[in-house]
Amino acid sequence: MKELNIMEATAYTSPNPLTLICSLNENGTTNLAPICFVSYLSFNPPMIGFAAGKQSHTGKRVRETGKVIVTVPGKSLADTVMACGSSTGATTNKVVENHIEMKAVDGSDIRIPVDTRLAIVATLQQSVDVGDHILHICQVDKFLGDEDRKGLYAWNGFGKVAPAAEG
Ligand SMILES: Cc1cc2nc3c(=O)[nH]c(=O)nc-3n(C[C@H](O)[C@H](O)[C@H](O)COP(=O)(O)O)c2cc1C
């Protein structure tokens, strides 16, 4: 075996889970950011966690509002997901810039893309400093699924997004 750095290792675990994290901007609009550092953490109560870079607007807003919707994007959003990963909600309205069709979620002020396979509506419980990221530990309020939509995964580490069947 050969020794790898962490970026090389992420290519070995591909396809990696991919989420598009939806959070609330200060002005009430929704911000979107692709995040692969995500995991289920507990069955009972259902809990999930995601790690966002310390500079991420998503992380800042989830810590300020205590609310998040973690989504698995549908396959029509492949290019959109990559675009949302190259700008920040601190200065850009990514939904408007990328012409993303959104829909409301009952009981939440945060909206989600129409082409969503799974939406996990969650409340922040704890945030933990982890190296250059902050881990957000959240309790799940509800899971909403649409099995007819094909979900996206991250390939080549985080370099490309595509459905899993492609591999
Ligand atoms: C496929 C993919 C996966 C990513 N995974 C993460 C991640 O797990 N954590 C993270 O902090 N940023 C991740 N990023 C980068 C963020 O999406 C990017 O920094 C984004 O601009 C943050 O937007 P925000 O400032 O609006 O939160 C990923 C980007 C891509 C394209």
**88 alpha carbon – ligand 1 mean position (Å):** 9
pTM recorded for the entire structure: 0.97
**What CATH number has the domain spanning 16-157?**
2.30.110.10
**Alpha carbon nearest to ligand 1 atom 19, residue:** 85
Using a 10 angstrom Cβ sphere, with 0-12 exposed, 13-18 middle and 19 or more buried, the burial of residue 36 is buried
What is the C-alpha separation between 37 and 111, in angstroms, rounded?
21
The pair of structure tokens assigned to 41 is 């953490």
Per-residue pLDDT at 167: 46
State the distance from the centre of ligand 1 to the C-alpha of 85, rounded, in angstroms: 5
Q: Which residues pair with 40 in a beta bridge?
A: 48
Cβ of 35 closer than 6 Å to ligand 1, yes or no, is yes
Q: Is 88 in the pocket of ligand 1 (CB under 6 A)?
A: yes
Residue 99, φ and ψ in degrees, nearest 5 = 50, 50
Domain ranges of the chain: 16-157
Q: What is the pLDDT of residue 165?
A: 75
Instruction: Look at strands 153-155 and 112-113 and give their pairing.
Output: unpaired
- CA 144 to centroid of ligand 1, rounded, Å: 23
Give me the percent of the chain exceeding a pLDDT of 70. 99
Residue 120 has what pLDDT?
Answer: 98
